[in-house]
Amino acid sequence: MSLINLRDRTINAKIVYYGTALSGKTTSLQYVHTVVDPEGLTELVSLNTQGDRTLFFDFLPIPLGNLGGFQVKLQAFTVPGQVKYAVTRRYVLRGADGVVFVADSRRKAFDDNLVALRGLRENLSANGLDPEKIPLLIQYNKRDLDDIVPEEELREALNWRGARDHPTIATTGPGIFESFTGLCCDLLEGLAREYRIADPDEMRAELSGRLDGLRQIHDDRKREADHATPTTPMGEQAAALATAAGDRFDTNDASQVSVITVADPDIDDETPNLEELLEKAVASNIESAKLVADLNETRRRLSDHVRQLATLHETGVLISSELDTDRSFERILEKALATVGATHGSVVLRDPETGTLSARMLHGYYADPLVGGADPEPEFAGRILHGRPFCITAREASWMSVAGDETPPHSALVAPLLQKGEGVGAIIAYLHQAPRDDQTDGRLRFLGAVAGQAAVALVNARLFSRIEGFNRELEHKVAERTRELEVAYSELKKIDALKDDFLASMSHELLTPLTSIRGFAEILGTTAADDGEAAAAERLEFASIVQQESGRLTQMLQSVLDLSMLEAGQVQLASEPVDIRELIRDAYRARKDDFTVSGASVRVRVEDDIPHVLGDVSWLSRVTQELLSNACKFSPPGAVVIVTVRRLDAMIVFEVEDQGPGVAEALRPTVFQKFKQVGDVLTDKPSGMGLGLPMARLVVERHGGEIWVDSSDSGGARFAFSLRPAPAVAPVS
């Protein structure tokens, strides 16, 4: 069964070519190999039996690249067709995600096809796979031979479930890749639909387009090989391509096939535990084939990395010893193109005065295809001047052009030359064949590294004669600016100290008379009843008002003093476990009168197993009270204020949501500033001096948390802050 790794975003699936002996299973898989891997970077592993040309099985890893956000790899197998390998066929089918049944169209093989089809259905069932549901495609192969069964007769006899089917000729290719494409699309669309990992239709369309592109490249190479003239360089190249893309291909090509010969199993009905021995043999041979494929892939990647590192080393040595720009770029470009497998490329530079791009160095072309002819699109120039290495295809670059006798590239790898974050040019490698997805990223990283070194070479060549004077000038400016900054910093510290002293002095001077006023008001309240009843009542009322107002002013000035002390770092906060639920209850009790007057209510949601938080309970209570009071102030009468406590990563988050008008996104950065009252825009006259939220911000930050505001689901404001959980305390035994 397919292996889907959501963490690594990978999908590994298995397809099996099944059919009677000599029906064309291996030849079909070999043709698929020539199309999906024209450069021969992966190998088809064939396991042969000693003394017998019958294949034990074939194995081909097929990387399909990124589809729907997943790296998709297929493992394609064939099964032996001979009757004596019936058990082997069953074990190779184990865990298959899709099956291609290859039928021999010859009249003399008709009964063998029926036997093979019956064996396929039995083996699928034996492996726990439903023959009626597994993705299935049927090839009616060898349609180019004489004495073949009509297609309709084969369909009626073999295609019992109305699956996709194709007439094919495995030796020359017609219908083979169409069959492979159809099965792969059915398989991945089914996986996407079953596991909901991507949009099934989009994944099918993306895979179909990618496989069609590979087939188009294969067909183009074949046409080039058919029409090439051996006397021209292009003819020599096409003649080489003809080997891989001709009318027939060499199924024993050592560059494409690894052959492992295994012992021919002695089929003897009296041999004990035959199926157990065969199961172990098949399992070990399958793992051997996978290991061979993995080793070949690892060897290829290591070889690429070694070449890239060697080129980077040589480029570094070159830069340190060469100050001539042209010689440096010529050697850098030559080595970079050879390393990424390209024969054509260029170095383009931007004119500092006009800003236009032009080729400084060329390999393989008379003029650069991207910047030598029609003006490139501004977006392309912008990507060179400010972007990272990227790949652009000829289809995307509609302005790309070459001379009439030159071969147009399929795509270009572009690595900008950056100086201080600004592009001054680029190294471009032109590819005549579509690169594999797993190659493109590595090649771009390598070209980016080379471009970085080339940019250094350019800087060295341009600035070497001025570097010493520039350094002296820079050192002088740095020393001068440093002195200015030191003076400015000293002045700022003095101003900040004066501000702190002023606030502290002002608060102290105002608190002294206000304390006296409050004391006399209390005395007046206790003696107001000595005279007449009405006068006493009036004086009592006035005294109460004086007392309330003086208390309010005292609280405001105390807030100013507290804020000043917090900013100056003069407040020592306790660090102890605080019960969250108790904190919320105490804050609500302190602000209960506000909710009673407005008719609003509070709903509290606390996740299960929320631990205590670490902090100072008195200051955290003031933060919670401020947020509750703020929510009550701006909520309409009868509204519900929602308090939520939940985990977020390693922090505990408190959220207070109101049903008021909310806070505009442009105003959110100002709500935590001193004396800033966003409420002036939202209500007629909000109470307070605009110090509550700034105080809350300082307290939360002193506790190592954060505080913020955004919109709630109801459209109101949601104020939230985070705190660290208290360490768990082991129970005392």
Q: How much is the average pLDDT of 12-18?
A: 91
Identify the CA nearest to 103 among candidates 141, 136, 147, 157. 141
Judgement on whether residues 421 and 548 belong to the same structural domain of the protein: no
* 405 occurs within a structural domain: yes
SS3 content of the chain, % helix, strand, coil (to 5): 50, 20, 30
CA 355, distance to chain mean position in Å, is 34
**Confidence at 512, pLDDT banded by 50, 70, 90:** low
- Last residue of a domain, which of 431, 465, 499? 465
- Highest mean pLDDT, choosing among 62-66, 205-209, 284-288, 508-512: 205-209
Q: Which of 568, 602, 629 is the last residue of a domain?
A: 568
Q: What is the mean pLDDT of the chain?
A: 78
CATH code where residue 620 lies: 3.30.565.10
DSSP state of 725: B
Q: pLDDT band at 113, cuts 50/70/90?
A: very high
Question: Above 70 in pLDDT, residue 463?
Answer: no
User: Residue 728: inside a domain, yes or no?
Assistant: no
Query: Residue 703: which of 588, 618, 627, 643 has the closest Cα?
Result: 618
CA dist 186 → 94, 444, 585 (Å): 19, 33, 59
Residue 340 belongs to domain with CATH number: 3.30.450.40
Q: Are 65 and 211 in contact (CB under 8 A)?
A: no
pLDDT at 90: 84
Tokens for 351? 């004119």
What amino acid is encoded at 692 in this protein? Answer: G
Say what the alpha-carbon torsion angle 59, 25, 31, 442 is, to the nearest 10 degrees: -20
411 pLDDT band, cuts 50/70/90, is confident
pLDDT tens for each residue of 179-200? 999 999 999 998 888 888 888 8
Claim to verify: residue 15 and residue 102 sit in the same structural domain: yes
CA 375 from centroid of its chain's CA atoms = 34
Distances (CA, A) of 485 to 227, 471, 480, 492, 646: 74, 20, 9, 10, 45
214 and 99 co-located in one domain: yes
Number of domains the chain is built from: 4
Distance CA 291, CA 278 (A): 20
Task: Please give the average per-residue pLDDT across 92-102, as a whole number.
Answer: 91
Domain that holds residue 169: 3-292
The verdict on residue 471 lying in a domain is no
Verify that 253 and 346 share a domain, yes or no.
no
- Which H helix or E strand runs over 9? none
> Does residue 598 surpass a pLDDT of 70?
yes
User: What integer pLDDT is reported at residue 63 of this predicted model?
Assistant: 81
- Asked if the structure places residue 701 within a domain, the reply is yes
- As a dihedral over the C-alpha atoms of residue 459, residue 462, residue 464, residue 468, rounded to 10 degrees, the angle is -90
Please tell me whether residues 270 and 383 are part of one structural domain: no
Alpha helices for 196-273 (secondary structure H):
200-227, 233-245
Residue 542 has pLDDT above 80, yes or no: no
Is position 68 within any domain?
yes
Q: What percent of the chain has pLDDT over 90?
A: 20
Residue 559: closest CA among 718, 675, 704: 675
Q: Fill in the DSSP letter of residue 85.
A: G
- Burial degree of 725 (CB within 10 A; 0-12, 13-18, 19+): middle
Task: Say yes or no: 628 and 537 in one domain.
Answer: no
Q: Are residues 90 and 146 in the same domain?
A: yes
pLDDT score recorded for residue 493: 81
CATH value at residue 286: 3.40.50.300
Window from 30-44, 110-124, 312-326, 448-462 with minimum mean pLDDT:
312-326
Question: Which ranges of 431-466 does DSSP label H, i.e. alpha helix?
Answer: 437-463
Of the two residues 295 and 340, the one the predictor is more confident about is 340
Smallest Cα–Cα separation from 59: which of 20, 22, 32? 32
pLDDT tops 90 at residue 145: yes
- The rounded distance, in Å, linking the Cα atoms of 99 and 78 is 10
What pLDDT does 240 receive? Answer: 40
Asked which of 533, 568, 603 is the last residue of a domain, the reply is: 568
Give the span between the Cα atoms of 684 and 674, in whole angstroms. Answer: 20
In a domain, 297, yes or no: no
- The reply to whether 274 and 217 lie within a common domain is yes
What is the C-alpha separation between 528 and 425, in angstroms, rounded? 90
Residue 351: per-residue pLDDT: 83
What is the model's pLDDT at position 51?
Answer: 42
Does residue 494 form part of some domain? yes
CA 272 – CA 533 distance, rounded (Å)? 119
Please report, for residues 389, 519, 531, 587, the alpha-carbon distance to residue 541 in angstroms, rounded to integers and kept in the order given.
Answer: 79, 16, 14, 29
Helix, strand, or coil (residue 656): strand
**Do residues 19 and 104 make contact, with C-beta atoms less than 8 angstroms apart?**
yes
Residue 561's CATH number = 1.10.287
Which carries the bigger pLDDT value, residue 359 or residue 248? 359
Structure tokens at 514: 């206000």
- 540 shares a domain with 429: no
pLDDT reported for residue 507: 62
pLDDT band at 333 (very low <50, low <70, confident <90, very high): confident
Same domain membership, residue 55 and residue 191 = yes
- 472 lies in some domain: no
Phi/psi of residue 65, nearest 5 degrees: 80, -160
User: In the chain, pLDDT over 70 holds for what percent of residues?
Assistant: 71
DSSP-assigned letters across all residues of 107-171: GGGHHHHHHHHHHHHHHHHHTT--TTTS-EEEEEE-TTSSSB--HHHHHHHH-TT--EEEE--TT
What tokens were used for 710? 């955004």
Residues 457 and 560 grouped into a single domain: no
DSSP letter at 42 equals: S
Question: For residue 98, what are the β-bridge partners?
Answer: 15
User: Nearest 5°: CA angle at 106, between 103 and 112?
Assistant: 55
- When comparing pLDDT for 454 and 1, which is higher? 454
325 and 264 in one domain? no
Name the more confident of 160 and 3. Answer: 160
Confidence grade of residue 491 (pLDDT, cut at 50, 70, 90): confident
Q: 462-476, 498-512, 666-680: which range is least confident on average? A: 498-512
pLDDT for 68 equals 80
Asked if residue 8 has pLDDT above 80, the reply is no
